[in-house]
Chains A and B, each alone.
Chain A
Amino acid sequence: MKNVILLTLDAIRKDVLGVYGSTKGLSPFIDSLGDESLIFTKGQTTGPYTQASFPGILTSSYYLDYGKPRGLAPERTLISEPLQKAGIVTAGFHSNPYCSDYLGWNRGWDVFYDSMEDEVEPRIPYIRGDIINTKVSNWLELQVKGGNRAFFLWLHYMDVHEPYMPERKYVDMVDPSLTLSEDEMYDLFENTLLKRDVSDPAKVELLKRLYEIHVREIDTYTKEFFGFLEKLGILKDCVVIITNDHGDEFNEHGGISHDYKMYSELIEPPLLIYGTEQSGEVDKLVSSVDIAPTIIHLFGLEPVPAFKGHSLLPLEDYPEKGAFSEAFDQRSQRGGDIEKDIYCYREKDLKIIYHANLDKWEMYDLKEDQKEQNNIVDTSSAAEELKKRLQPMVRRWVK
């Protein structure tokens, strides 16, 4: 039995990776995995930000299944729980406060590092990927020495996430001519990004540049991590799933960062499965709720009834189905305003979006209109059918 590793890259957009067509050369290592990976070209996360998407990835359930969330609902099943019960070693290493011990994400892990006890740099409130790697490699070494039990490892890098303040060495790898000081970078974060001010295209462009430099940075961490696996002689015994929790916007739809929107720059993830001896592009529509069932399948365990997704493997058994996402406004009031909610449903290349508080619909044909600029909800003959599919999910917790 192989070990399974889930590598999630916070805030990374699919279109910045060479393996998905970017020509900027920001991800040479991840791209090099392409030949030995299944590359899913049509995927959807369960939401456009961490809180909305990780329930999909790690619990195969949807963000608002239990109404307005206050930490991880006890009803949800974390992927670590059935695995631990089955005798598989479970370990998680990350630095995202939204998946912290405090919010209930520590269930079922033999080792759970969420960094919340560690000091962080004042302006960068998370532990960088190189430190995460050190912790993971220490653990891996013990794990390999300690015997022959299979393991599931979840590893998450935060580094692409704002405030976009890359270290000089990564700046030099991507754009040595860029001479912004740390203070200038932080100023862009505080006064442009945090204010969602897109009035100056040059500033938005600069933020995107800094973001891209971080992509190069986590590609380096990914390479280093694979290096550990190789050095320990276990790479051949591992399946590695690489994906994101959400993307980031740079004024494609009037904003920056990742707010409650349902466009592809935010909810279309990269999704690679490396090490199954299968490779090539897969154009079936898949969802992040399918990841946990896939992990269960890879360990040869019985499907978990609580999981709402379907195993991606074997590919030929994967059913044709729609993908659902939802979110609400997290910024307008403390704890978020669930009255400003948004829902999204996709089938094949058609996507429909519903703003519940405005009773407003949008619809896009992603084959013809990849940038989602042309709302066809009033003209498409498929609109009524898609609305019908989405409607039961809208405010389903209101009885």
Chain B
Amino acid sequence: MKVTEQERAELKPEVDKLVEKSKEVIRDTFSKYKIEDMAITWTGGKDSTLTLWIIRQVCLEDKIQIPKAMTIDEFDVFQEIHDFMEKYTKEWNLDLEWCRNDDVVKAAGGKLNNIVKVKDLDERNQAELKRIGFEEDSFPFEAESYTGNHLMKTVEFNKYIERRNVKAIFQGLRRDEQSARIQDDYYEKKEAAHLIPEHMRIKPILHFSERQVWKAYKVYGIPYCALYEQGYRSLGAKTTSAIAEPGVPAWEQDLEHTTERAGRRQDKEQMMGRLRKLGYM
């Protein structure tokens, strides 16, 4: 990422203000929870890395230990993301746990697109499928399909919260990422429900736009995964993320007039899932 000193100086006041707001949210959370009851979600993507970086800054400034971090291995991970995360786990001295739904991977014979038979899954995974109203006997193993997304991500997330007794977890969600999030609050309490432990979700960079995220990277020289240089704008599973503009780094693309999540398939699956349950399919 090329940034001139002049550009950095120009951007700094705006970005400082944004980061200050994030730090406020983080410090407020720190004052309410014990370090061991908190966790940070990290995907290696631009939003969660920025979140993690700001939390780390707060910890350095206030001389406290950084909370543990978790990441979900959906079995369809870019090598570049994996390497990037390994590198900074060491460099930043993080306690990072990789969570993977191995039972599903095993039932799929360790290969993407293989058919997973529901009866081959363990009790928890079967119960989870029931919970989301999935009633078929099998499904193809894809991380970002309707069932795959639930088992590989949502379930692993909830299991982690439960296993590590997490009361508060930081997430790198942004309000402008989807119009659906326009109303989101920095704090979102998740009530306990069947297979979901109660916890608080905290979103310190909620107020950043996609453009402002990249401005923060420029101003502070925050490290990022190299895939963004190749033209990816939004990173999910390897087989379902697409390059938005080949060869054009994310921060040089027309972020304001095009869609950030182009190429991500989850939205369609989510919609189809709901329609099925409404009795339409």
Give CA–CA (A300, B130) in the complex, Å: 52
Bound Cα distance A2, B274 (Å): 36
Comparing A108-116, A225-233, A241-249, A262-270, the segment that makes contact with chain B is A108-116
CB atoms of B278 and A139 under 8 A apart: no
Report whether over half of chain B's contact residues are helix, strand or loop; otherwise say mixed.
Answer: helix
CB closest chain-B residue, reference A120? B274
Q: In the bound complex, what is the Cα–Cα distance between A118 and B190 (angstroms)?
A: 12
Binds A, one of B21-29, B73-81, B263-271: B263-271
Q: Which of B268, B270, B275 has the most CB of A within 10 A?
A: B270
Tell whether A101 is near chain B: CB-to-CB under 8 Å: yes
- A 326-348 contacts with B by CB, 8 A: 330-331, 334
Which has the most chain B C-beta neighbours within 10 Å: A97, A135, A330, A331? A97
A100–B271 touching, CB < 8 Å: yes
Which residues does chain A contribute within 8 Å of B267, judged by CB atoms?
A: 100-102, 116
Q: Are A117 and B178 in contact (CB under 8 A)?
A: yes
Contact B268 A106 (CB under 8 A): no
Q: Is B182 an interface residue (CB 8 A)?
A: yes
Chain A 257-297, CB within 8 Å of chain B: the 1/0 string?
10000000000000000000000000000000000000000
CB distance from A385 to the nearest CB of B (A): 36
> A113–B183 contact, CB under 8 A?
yes
Contact with B along A109-136 (1 / 0, CB 8 A): 1011111111010110110000000010
B271 A116 Cβ-Cβ under 8 A: yes
A-side contacts of B131, CB under 8 Å: 122
**B274 contacts A126, CB within 8 Å?**
yes
Name A122's contact: one of B132, B270, B279 (CB within 8 Å).
B132
CB interface residues, A 79-115, toward B, < 8 Å: 97-98, 100-103, 106, 109, 111-115
Number of interface residues of B (CB under 8 A): 22
| CB-defined contacts of A120 to chain B, threshold 8 Å | 274
Chain B residues, Cβ within 8 Å of A117:
178, 180-181, 270
Check if B92 is an interface residue, CB within 8 A of chain A. no
Report whether B183 and A125 are in contact in the complex, using a CB–CB cutoff of 8 Å: no
- In the complex, the answer to whether A97 meets B180 with C-beta atoms within 8 Å is no
Contact A97 B178, CB 8 Å, known A113-B183, A123-B133: no
Whether the pair B179, A125 counts as a contact (CB closer than 8 A) is: no
Number of A positions contacting B (CB below 8 A): 34
CB-defined contacts of A257 to chain B, threshold 8 Å:
279
Whether the Cβ atoms of A111 and B268 lie closer than 8 Å is no
Known: A193-B279, A334-B281. Is A97-B274 also a contact (CB below 8 A)? yes
> Chain B 118-149, CB within 8 Å of chain A: the 1/0 string?
00000000000011110000000000000000
Q: A162 and B180 in contact (CB under 8 A), knowing A102-B271, A122-B131, A125-B273?
A: no
Q: How far is the CA of A105 from the CA of B94 in the complex (A)?
A: 43
B271's contact among A103, A135, A330, A334, by CB below 8 Å, is which? A103
Say yes or no for A163: interface residue by CB 8 A criterion. Answer: yes
- If A125-B278, A161-B278, A193-B279 touch, whether A118 touches B273 (CB-CB below 8 Å) is no
Q: Which residue of A lies closest to B190 (CB)?
A: A119
**Which of chain A's residues have a CB closer than 8 A to the CB of B275?**
97-98, 125
Who on chain B is nearest to A189 by CB? B279
Q: Is the CB of B183 within 8 A of A116?
A: no
* Distance of A257 Cα from B133 Cα, bound (Å): 20
Determine the chain B residues whose CB is within 8 A of the CB of A135 once the complex forms: 183
Identify which of A111, A122, A162, A334 contacts B278 (C-beta below 8 A): A162
Task: Contact check, B180 vs A194: say whether CB atoms are below 8 A apart.
Answer: no
Enumerate chain B interface residues (CB-CB to A < 8 A): 130-133, 178-183, 267-268, 270-271, 273-275, 277-281
- Write 8 A-B pairs (CB below 8 A) sorted by A numbering: A100-B267, A101-B178, A112-B180, A116-B271, A163-B277, A163-B279, A257-B279, A334-B281
